[in-house]
Structure 1
């Protein structure tokens, strides 16, 4: 979109927040870049130029506006919606792959050469993988500076910088303030949070329907790993450098996120996973506009617009849970999964509440004697095949995975049918077009709103909903009185 100058100018003139994250406005006279919705008086048209990413604006020598904080705007929906190389690379960069493994590690995960990755990102986003990772490190540093009492030296290394000097230079260049000045400006007399506990705001594009998001997570929460308590969804997190816990609570214009991490280097990855879990980078107006064109869906969309697709913080965990939940009720699936967690999960200490374990890894489950898995023989066999495929790498469900290839890998596993494969594609892979035509709740809701009743006929009808069929499923579940959603 950033190449459509006239459209970008109109968005800036109207201060349209719907375009935040889609592009960034750079002002040639002040050398500042902003969100389209920045509250300051827009500059003259001839003084504006536009970039597809914050990293591209920073690389061109612009610094972040202190009013609208463009570095903290919702991310572009494209990286959640698309399955191509650039989108997969952006999801991996957001998860911290470049910081942990370098550009060669990113390229290896995607199956391309380093040169190909750099060329594709530069052409699409105006910045290469190192510049994109640098922009993320700057934002991670800003969060730690503004919300914690950590010493600056600890923040520098926790954010992924190789030296304190690089940290200081980057913060000054990106935000036009020294790290200590940034903290003073943010706190303004308030005490920072204790070390180890971070509270931050996760922005999103309005509208958002919290009952949809948090209701499903609360209804399917596995005791020990997840819980709904005190108006927030709590869960444990297994992260690259350690573990943590998170509490996510809906607010009118943001989601409040309270993180406790055993290693602060996991901050950027934890934020990325929480945003992905809640589908916060979606563009609900684009989704709802498409679904409203169907007269059968329009009343459901108008009743509660902004439904998201609840996803996951751990794709391997969700795959195991999906297999356990085949052909049983939500309550039965929770019971089976809770037993698995209690017997084989890794214990953790969390302040207050009922969080007690990390979900067991696929590798740890694959190493068990199958007879140790207390469940019916058929389901046990399906779980064993799934965890073995995950542990060996035969099945890849990471955020950089190819969606079509992952579906083929799932279909090849004994005990995994189309319903399970599509549910995993929807919530673990994040495919916005995943569809569940054989789901009982979808079938009941379709009949209720006048849609075709048979799976084949519904698939044909749903072609008009593409590429948003996963969102259509959320609206259909809302019309089913026996869906697993709860009202919060």
Structure 2
């Protein structure tokens, strides 16, 4: 299927870059925006853009850079167009990125009023699977031990400084993250300028050295203990980073982000009316084992907000230390 191309000032570029199209027809409801939301690293993410009803992604695939346009095509289909060397790969894996293979049928939340209502109001929520481990791991490493705002600022800086302009007619100022070799070549002072201290940049460098082995974990399925163990075999990658990566790259339905600054309190307030720590969160989620990340996503997408008592995290700026 071929769709009319979106209006773009980059029309000449579009004509020069081959376009690949597909249409995905999911079984059941699909909320495209909610499903793809975990790929967005802040409102100014150079690799993620929402333009009206369209969602644009700038992806690093095993075959090269790709710009991907996702838009509804009627009530029961989603059209995906892609440009760049990685276009064929992106289109081939688009259905899994849009939740194909994510099975919610065994999740029973009828015993909890809040969760039952959240599930009823989000029938189209799916867990994505990008099939790109290293690409998901690097931003997760950046988000270790700092606020999201700090991590997202570093992400924007490094993509614009060392990434690849999104191919085809993607919106202006969209960038594809560097290749594995490109991440490896970033000088130490540029990590420093981005606000990434040596501990996190060293973890990225260690991941660079085993990147092919990390990609092979995709053959192990949709996450699980073995995948987590393989990811955590890289020094500097702990339980939180492995979970954040597996959620996106593998589509892991049972990997809640233990060690997160916000998630345990959000789960606690939503399910019990009060904050809990990591152990308390896991206890609350235990009845839903096998679906624990799905439950967290339901809570996050429900619109529920925990009470705000002001910041308690000390903000660290590593750029000038």
| SS at structure 2 position matched to 1:373 | helix
Q: Does residue 255 of the first structure (1) align with residue 78 of the second (2)?
A: yes
Q: Does residue 471 of the first structure (1) align with residue 290 of the second (2)?
A: no
Matches within 5 A, 1:80-229: 147=2, 196-218=18-40, 220=42, 223-229=45-51
2:154 matched residue in structure 1: 336
**Cα distance between partner residues in 1 of 2:46 and 2:143:** 17
Q: Does residue 400 of the first structure (1) align with residue 219 of the second (2)?
A: yes
Q: 2:276 aligns with which of 453, 465, 474?
A: 453
Tell me the matched-pair count: 287
**After superposition, what is the alpha-carbon deviation per residue over 1:318-357, rounded to whole angstroms, capped at 9, x for unaligned?**
1001001123333332221121112222345432512543
The structure where helix makes up a greater share of residues is 1
Q: Does residue 420 of the first structure (1) align with residue 241 of the second (2)?
A: yes
TM-score by length of 2: 0.75
Runs of 4+ in 1 over 6 A off after TM superposition: none
Q: 1:428 to 1:229 in 2, by over 3 A?
A: same
**Cα distance between partner residues in 2 of 1:210 and 1:327:** 30
Whether the 8 Å contact between 1:227 and 1:355 is mirrored in structure 2 is no
| SS at structure 1 position matched to 2:81 | strand
Structure showing greater radius of gyration is 1
When the two chains are superposed, the root-mean-square deviation of aligned CA atoms in Å is 3.2
Q: 2:253 aligns with which of 432, 454, 476?
A: 432
| SS at structure 1 position matched to 2:210 | helix
| SS at structure 1 position matched to 2:124 | coil
Q: 1:317 aligns with which of 117, 129, 135?
A: 135
User: How much has 1:405 moved relative to structure 2?
Assistant: 3.4
Matches within 5 A, 1:23-38: none
TM-score by length of 1: 0.52
**Cα distance between partner residues in 2 of 1:441 and 1:306:** 24
1:124 matched residue in structure 2: none
User: How much has 1:359 moved relative to structure 2?
Assistant: 1.2
Q: 1:415 to 1:218 in 2, by over 3 A?
A: closer
2:123 matched residue in structure 1: 305
User: How much has 1:419 moved relative to structure 2?
Assistant: 1.3
1:274 matched residue in structure 2: 94
| SS at structure 2 position matched to 1:425 | helix
Q: Does residue 462 of the first structure (1) align with residue 282 of the second (2)?
A: no
Whether the 8 Å contact between 1:318 and 1:424 is mirrored in structure 2 is yes
User: How much has 1:281 moved relative to structure 2?
Assistant: 3.5
